[in-house]
Amino acid sequence: MTQDPSYPNTDAQRATGDWDPMWDLMQEMDPDYLEAFLAFRAVPQRKGPLEQKYKEMIFIAINAATTHLHGPGVRRHIQNALRAGATQAEILEVIELTTIMGIHSMTLAAPILKEEVERFNQKEA
């Protein structure tokens, strides 16, 4: 008899209370995929220098982006951000910034970022 597979990342995510109802359908249809997705998604949550408040605000931007438009995720991450200490004004600014998202933002900002990082590194040397 085959033992049921273990899904530690799925179980851990569900236990946090930060659960997207869509994941129930994913778990029913392909629990292995959901497990892999949640493992991948959890890496920056477990590691990294950003405070949880900022991670949640990034999740808000991702979920509110015109390429995603995932209302339940926006709502869940706004709640998480507020619990992590974000203010309404900070969250509103994230949403306002997200409304201008597009490839043009990247084609404009990426070269500037490269130039400014190089300038910063030259001053530090």
Q: Dump pLDDT digits (tens) for 93-105.
A: 888 888 777 665 4
Burial class of 31 by CB neighbour count within 10 A (0 to 12, 13 to 18, 19+): middle
pTM to 2 decimal places: 0.70
Q: Would the pLDDT of 4 be above 80?
A: no
Q: Would the pLDDT of 36 be above 90?
A: yes
Band (pLDDT 50/70/90 cuts) for residue 25 is very high
Q: If you ran DSSP here, which 8-state letter would residue 5 be given? A: P
Give the domains, in start order, of the chain with CATH numbers: 8-124 (1.20.1290.10)
Band (pLDDT 50/70/90 cuts) for residue 69 is confident
Q: Please give the Cα distance from 2 to 7 (Å, whole number).
A: 15
Q: Would the pLDDT of 1 be above 70?
A: no
Phi, psi (rounded to 5 degrees) for 62: -65, -45
Mean pLDDT of the chain: 85
Task: Transcribe 15-80 into DSSP letters.
Answer: HHT---THHHHHHHH-HHHHHHHHHHHHHHHHSSSS-HHHHHHHHHHHHHSTTT--HHHHHHHHHH
Angle of CA points 24, 25, 26, to nearest 5°: 90
CA distances from 55 to 2, 24, 35, 50, 121 (A): 39, 23, 21, 6, 26
Model confidence pLDDT, tens digit, residues 74-118? 889 999 999 999 999 999 888 888 877 766 545 555 577 678 888
